[in-house]
Amino acid sequence: MTHVINAAERALEKDILCKLLDKYDLLSENEQGQTILHLAVRGGLENLIDLILERHAKLELWQAACRGGYKNKKLIETWLKDRANSKLCDEDDTVKELLFAAIQGQDFQIVKLLIEKRTWIDIQDEEYRTPLFWAIKTGNRKMVDLLLHHGSSTELLEHKDKYGVNPLLLAADNCDCGMVKLLLEKKSKRECLG
């Protein structure tokens, strides 16, 4: 925690502070029971305070995407409408994280909302897994169909994660015959069209 405070006091660049801040749980406390936000406020470190508040806002959005439901969908909808005024410096990364969280939380409406606002289905997480991969992993055929409808290409059906697993193999590993059939049908349709 002291590394981040020292960096903020020295007015280091924002991206350096972001990298340091990524290593800390915002709610963790030091021996005196103070969080990093307490220390930043006490020290008058506005640059660090802004970053902490930004991280907290992202955490709330991520939790909303994971939990799903009407209220959380409205929260994300509001953020998407207001994102032009948003202070989030990595807006695209935030939307990407929300999409993965909503897929893993299996909230169809939030996934649909995010895809309609930003239609890049070929994004990947740090293990090279696409949204299609995570939808298959959850076994949610409706979500897989939505992703395939919104442009998941044949290449994405064959795309391998860092462990060499592609979506079709994952569906087979999960013993999900219906999912395998759906993927094979989509793959053959795309090959016939293109």
Task: Give the Cα separation of 106 and 157 in Å (integer).
Answer: 20
pLDDT in tens, 10-36: 555 666 666 666 666 666 677 777 776
Overall CATH class of domain 57-193: mainly alpha
pLDDT in tens, 37-60: 666 676 776 777 777 767 766 666
pTM flag (> 0.75): no
Phi, psi (degrees; rounded to nearest 5) at 48: -75, -40
Strand, helix or coil for residue 171 = helix
Q: What average pLDDT is seen over the chain? A: 73
Task: Give the Cα separation of 78 and 184 in Å (integer).
Answer: 37
Highest mean pLDDT among 140-144, 150-154, 183-187: 140-144
Decide if 26 contacts 63 (C-beta within 8 A).
no
pLDDT in tens, 52-86: 767 766 666 766 776 767 666 777 777 666 655 44
